[in-house]
Amino acid sequence: AEAKPKYERILLKLSGEALAGNLGYGIDPEVIGDIAGEIRDVIDLGVQVALVIGGGNIFRGVAAASRGMDRASADYMGMLATVMNSLAMQDALEKVGVVTRVQSAIEMQAVAEPYIRRRAVRHLEKGRVVIFGAGTGNPYFTTDTAASLRAMEINAEVILKATKVDGIYSADPNKDKDAVKYQSLSYLDVLKKGLQVMDATATSLCMDNDLPIVVFDLTRRGNIKRVVMGEPIGTIVKG
Ligand code: UDP
């Protein structure tokens, strides 16, 4: 018999930068098309997939605030950037035959459904990918926190956090030759060691609700499926 996926419902968190590819800014259609194909492979396994996408490839609130802009206004711009990324991902997914819905935490009737938890769950049950845009809808938060919050709300079994490195290291592996990769870490380890996995708000939300996070390398093709099938790649953060 064919192997069964490890998870039935996942929340995949992509940073905005993941969509920019080598451009470093904006959205690279080729990169986003590849990611969409990988998500389709997971949908084809019968796994339910929710997505949260960052906005850092377009706008970051903290960066603008550090240059004098009002923080809350800047954060709203950052949230709008995540909606742009969500629409781009929706387009890419539909091009590869995946049915999607975008739900925005900031109401935007013409472009997205409003966030309605029960409706999101219904979409997932029908095999649609639900893309949660506009973060939590609140300034001073991040899309990592939005990912944790939404994952909890929809009862996802895990957050898959896609990055450019193949897990969590004791130091930046690009800068430090002695950096070692962790197979597994506790939430407290992440918080105490100040590891740059997710911000503290997102990490403690996962800790309080026992939601595991798998940090893995998105740049290696097929990795989303590997994680979903339970292959021991990346680093798992749990209790
Ligand atoms: N943001 C926010 N509230 C949220 C989520 C995001 O204010 O709940 C804003 C914030 O300004 C942030 C920007 O949106 O800088 C983009 O999100 P993030 O930096 O998390 O994106 P990523 O780093 O994952 O690309």
* Ligand 1 pocket at CB < 6 A: 15-17, 54-56, 60-62, 74-75, 78-79, 81-82, 135-136, 138-139, 141-146
- In terms of DSSP H, where are the helices of the chain? 16-20, 29-43, 61-66, 71-95, 117-125, 143-153, 187-193, 200-208, 223-228
Per-domain boundaries in the chain: 9-238
ipTM: 0.97
**What separation in Å is there between the alpha carbon of 48 and the centre of ligand 1?**
24
C-alpha to C-alpha distance for 164 and 31, rounded to whole angstroms: 13
Annotated binding-site residues read 13-16, 55-56, 60, 75, 136-143, 163, 169, 172
Element (H, E) at 163: strand 158-163
Residues of the chain with pLDDT under 70: 1
Q: What pLDDT is stored for residue 14 in this prediction?
A: 98
Whole-number Å distance between alpha carbons of 18 and 162: 8
Segment 163-173, tens digit of pLDDT:
989 999 998 88
What are 161-199's pLDDT values in tens digits? 999 899 999 988 889 999 999 999 999 999 999 998 899
Distance 73 CA to ligand 1 centre (A): 12
Q: Is pTM, for the whole model, over 0.95?
A: yes
Q: In whole angstroms, give the CA distance from residue 108 to residue 140.
A: 21
For the chain, percent of residues with pLDDT exceeding 90:
93
Q: Which pLDDT score is estimated for 173? A: 86
Where is the binding site for ATP, in residues? 13-16, 56, 60, 163, 169, 172
DSSP string, 77-139: HHHHHHHHHHHHHHHHHHHTT--EEEEESS--TTTSEEP-HHHHHHHHHTT-EEEEESTTSST
CATH class for the domain made up of 9-238? alpha beta
Placement of tokens 């079994």 in the chain = 157
Residues sharing a CB contact under 8 Å with residue 177, sequence separation 6 or more, in sequence order: none
Beta strand pairing call for 9-14 and 48-53: parallel
What's the 4 CA to ligand 1 centre distance in angstroms? 34
Distance 154 CA to ligand 1 centre (A): 20
